Amino acid sequence: MRLIDHFLAGGAGAASARHGDVFDPNTGRVQARVALAGGEVLDRAVASAQAAQPGWAATNPQRRARVLFRFKQLLEANMEELARLLASEHGKVVDDAKGDIQRGLEVVEFCCGIPHALKGEYTQGAGPGIDVYSMRQPVGIGAGITPFNFPAMIPMWMFAPAIACGNAFILKPSERDPSVPVRLAELMREAGLPDGILQVVHGDKEMVDAILDHPAIAAVSFVGSSDIAHYVYQRGVAAGKRVQAMGGAKNHGIVMPDADLDQVVADLSGAAFGSAGERCMALPVVVPVGERTADALRERLVSAIGRLRVGVSTDAEAQYGPVVTAQHKARIEQWIQTGIDEGAELVVDGRGFRLQGHEDGYFLAPSLFDRVTPQMRSYQEEIFGPVLQIVRAPDFESALKLPSEHQYGNGVAIFTRNGHAAREFAARVNVGMIGINVPIPVPVAYHSFGGWKRSGFGDTNQYGMEGVRFWTKVKTITQRWPDGGSTGDSAFVIPTMG
Residues marked active site are found at 280
Residues 6+ apart with CB under 8 A from 462: 157, 158, 221, 223, 244, 246, 448, 449, 450
For residue 30, count other CB atoms closer than 10 A to its CB.
12
Buried b (16+ CB within 10 A) or exposed e, 427-450: eebebbbbbeeebbbbbebeebbb
Torsion, Cα of 299, 302, 305, 306 (10° steps): -120
CB distance 403 to 430 below 8 Å:
yes
CB distance 277 to 322 below 8 Å:
no
Q: In terms of residues, how long is the chain?
A: 498
Nearest CA to 112 out of 208, 210, 191 is that of 191
